[in-house]
Amino acid sequence: MATEQELSGFLKSVERRAFKRAAYQVRDEEAALDIVQESMMRLAQHYGDRPLAEMPHLFQRILSHAIIDSLRRRKTRWNLFSNLSDLTVGQSDEVDPLEALEDLIGHEGTQSAQDALEKTQTLKELEFLLMQLPERQREAFLLRYWEEMDLAETAAVMGCSQGSVKTHCFRAVQALSKALKARGYGS
């Protein structure tokens, strides 16, 4: 069983990223704060007696459910935003996804692109683009790359197959890379 100090330390270590993840997904900071608070309460009340090692996975699941609940309640607000569907690379045979992605990233990888950009500017732009992604792509991207979960974990949290996670992630990366390049941040 995790001690009070251990639980406090764990919550402290995840609260900021949890807040940002919720904010990216629901696109509302007030709602994101409520979601994080609700998730912390649920973890402490229902799973406070679990070992510390189980906490990260439990918390991510609780957080994901809280985000989904919030999104369901606020579904109508989604219509106010446009999405990146026009930027998503089509699946036609004419475009080779590997070549397209390599072209977007550049042969030097992302390092050269990073060097060319002001970090703050990139962050703002990336945050904006991320929030325009379709819901499932955004969720997959954040879980897989920001929370650095493996495929199986991400699929478990999202309640879908690993193949679906790969597809969502690939499309999210493609869309973000293409949008960044279109705004002059590509190599």
Partner 1 sequence: MKHSRKTRLELLADRQGLSLAARLNPAASDLPHQVTERLRAARERALASRKVQTARAQGAYGMGGSLALNHGDDDQMGWLGRLSSGLALLLLVVGMLGISEAQNDLRARELAEVDVALLTDDLPPAAFADPGFLQFLQTDDL
In the bound state with partner 1, the residue whose beta carbon lies nearer, of 75 and 108, is 108
* Contact characters 91-110, partner 1, x per CB under 8 A: ------xx--xx-xx---xx
φ, ψ of residue 137 in degrees (nearest 5): -65, -40
Confirm or reject binding of residue 87 to partner 1 (CB under 8 A): no
Q: How far is the CB of 15 from partner 1 (least distance, A)?
A: 5
Return the structure tokens found at 44. Answer: 């402490």
In the bound state with partner 1, the residue whose beta carbon lies nearer, of 30 and 86, is 30
Among 60, 61, 169, 178, binds partner 1 (CB under 8 A): 169
Return the structure tokens found at 57. Answer: 């996975």
Nearest Cα to 25, choosing from 169, 140, 176?
Answer: 140
Confirm or reject binding of residue 12 to partner 1 (CB under 8 A): yes
Confirm or reject binding of residue 127 to partner 1 (CB under 8 A): yes
3-state DSSP call for residue 118?
coil
Among 45, 82, 91, 92, binds partner 1 (CB under 8 A): 45
In the bound state with partner 1, the residue whose beta carbon lies nearer, of 114 and 161, is 114
Nearest Cα to 31, choosing from 75, 64, 74, 76?
Answer: 74
- Under a CB-based contact definition with an 8 Å cutoff, are residues 141 and 171 in contact? no
A 10 A CB-CB count for 173 gives 18
- Under a CB-based contact definition with an 8 Å cutoff, are residues 90 and 153 in contact? no
Confirm or reject binding of residue 165 to partner 1 (CB under 8 A): no
Nearest Cα to 150, choosing from 127, 169, 133?
Answer: 169
Interface residues with partner 1 (CB under 8 A) are 4, 7-8, 11-12, 15-17, 19-20, 29, 33, 36-37, 40-41, 43-45, 48-49, 97-98, 101-102, 104-105, 109-110, 114, 119-120, 122-123, 126-127, 130, 141-142, 144-146, 148, 166, 169-170, 172-174, 176-177
